Structure 1
Amino acid sequence: MSNKTVKKHSYYAPTGGHPPQTQLLSDRAVFTEAYAIIPKGVLRDIVASFLPHWEKTRLWVLSRPLSGFAETFSQYIMEVQPGGGSDRPELDPGAEGVLFVVEGEMTLTLNGEKHQMEEGGYAFIPPGTDWQLHNQADRIVRFHWIRKAYEPVEGLGTPEAFVVNENDIEPVEMAGTDGRWTTTRFVDMQDLRHDMHVNIVNFQPGGVIPFDETHVMEHGLYVLEGKAVYHLNQDWVEVEAGDYMWLRAFCPQACYAGGPGPFRYLLYKDVNRHMKLNGFGAR
């Protein structure tokens, strides 16, 4: 019997390209003091980036630490051609990472052990890990790479690396929602070794966040599937698969998933650490 994961979900991945000269200039991109919307239509060839020690690879930077805005993380969408990848992917020994595959498949090597990852695949990589990544398939692989400077705490230790697929995890139903709102959690919320959570939030048509969440955690939200209307700092914005939302701490946020199908997004948030009192980076 095959152990291959059965795919249950769809995942949007950008393909780049360039719009024609006849296209209207206006789009849904917004950057405010409280939030930013990066719609899928702006992820074009002209704004792609490249990284040292990565072969046959380009990426789109969705977020990065930015003074006066969100400060704890960066998020990329990586695109690796067949035969591409890196033997030195992470140059910062203090950085932890999460990888999430949205198209294709790839080989991730963690401390000498190889893992085959396909769509829905998720990997947590602790700081200081020896890892490599290569596309040994015959088609492009696209995946998210979320990076954060890990904040160690004396006596807690560092969480272990792991690789899993979201299709093998049972989502947790939010109380009082009759299953319309669930969360796919990849780490134990009580494990205080983790200083970030990267989850998948799932809404069925008609599901809502029924109040304006206002909290200290920063967010990066990439819409994997479907569409919805989001309430951000008193503005209503429509989002769809491929759009990205970058929310500053305390930005009020709520949403309504109108359908016709599921609305799902990859969610980053910083957790489980004291607030720094003397500026970013203070100990």
Structure 2
Amino acid sequence: MSQNSYYTAFGGLPPQTQLLSGKAVFTTAYAVIPKGVMSDIVTSLLPHWENTKTWIIARPMTGFSETFSQYIVQVEPGGGSDKPEPDVRAQAAIFVVEGSITVTLEGRGHALRAGSFAFLPAGSNWQIRNAAEQPAKFHWVRKAFQPVDGLEAPPAIFTHEDEHDITMMPDTNGAWGTTRFIDPNDIRYDFHLNIVTFQPGGIIPFMETHVMEHGLYVLEGKAVYRLNEDWVEVEAGDFMWLRAFCPQACYAGGPGRFRYLLYKDVNRHARLL
């Protein structure tokens, strides 16, 4: 049974005594949406979803991140949707952080629990329900699939974090590694949703600057993250949204592990305008 921790304590409303200042920031290179602003008054209701509320924490925006949207979804007992996705171009990645849900794909049910991952191909027929007695919470990443002539469409995936070893980054002595739910060498997939784990003291030892854009949701622990010209302190429940080529680095000072859910677009030519 998994011993991993996944942050889920969002929602509610801060008290009237709380200070207005915080670390939320939106720049031309990155955004930070801290857990304290993910209150119930910023949730969205979605068509054809019952007993469900959603925090939309990323969406395509011209001149900023442009390839994906990311939701945090809370489904009450008996809730869910028989028509969850309105866009036939959209593929989905789901990562469950609390409770249990059943995803039915092309008529076959798949039970998911905290730590489960699912990839659902674009244009597939799927439904999602919470048949348990407790609320379920999961991350839902949506991306328009980029087909390639002569390359078959990627198949569905249903798996769990417990079924995957952490692949350690070279020359880090086990301080930094990635749990990959999708084979990084399988170019049928045009995005990945991974879990990155730092042990206390682990670092990204250079300013990464690359074409992939990122969504980073902190599942566990705390660290300081370098985003463009700024050092930002982040902790479990915070979300970072990084534009392509935003310089980035990390120092995970501890005392415990630092882990985040990482989106990135991969395996396709850059589109020409």
- TM category, shorter: over 0.9
**Which residue does 1:143 correspond to in 2?**
138
**Which residue does 1:251 correspond to in 2?**
246
**Which residue does 1:263 correspond to in 2?**
258
Amino acid at match of 2:21: S
Matched residues in 1 for 2:98 and 2:184: separation? 28
How far does residue 271 in structure 1 lie from its aligned partner after superposition? 0.6
How far does residue 14 in structure 1 lie from its aligned partner after superposition? 3.7
Amino acid at match of 2:238: D
How far does residue 189 in structure 1 lie from its aligned partner after superposition? 1.2
Q: 2:125 aligns with which of 123, 130, 150?
A: 130
**Which residue does 2:4 correspond to in 1?**
9
How far does residue 136 in structure 1 lie from its aligned partner after superposition? 0.3
Matched residues in 2 for 1:109 and 1:68: separation? 36
**Which residue does 2:80 correspond to in 1?**
85
Matched residues in 2 for 1:244 and 1:267: separation? 10
**Which residue does 2:186 correspond to in 1?**
191
Q: 2:198 aligns with which of 183, 196, 203?
A: 203
**Which residue does 1:23 correspond to in 2?**
18
The reply on whether 1:67 has 2:55 as its aligned counterpart is no
TM-score (norm 2): 0.99
TM-score (norm 1): 0.95
**Contact conserved, 2:10 with 2:237, CA < 8 A, in 1?**
no
How far does residue 8 in structure 1 lie from its aligned partner after superposition? 1.9
Q: Percent identity?
A: 63
Matched residues in 2 for 1:7 and 1:81: separation? 23
SS in 2 for 1:167: helix
Matched residues in 2 for 1:187 and 1:16: separation? 30
5+ residue gaps, structure 2, are: none
Alignment root-mean-square deviation, CA: 0.6
5+ residue gaps, structure 1, are: 1-5, 279-283
How far does residue 15 in structure 1 lie from its aligned partner after superposition? 3.2
Matched residues in 1 for 2:87 and 2:62: separation? 20
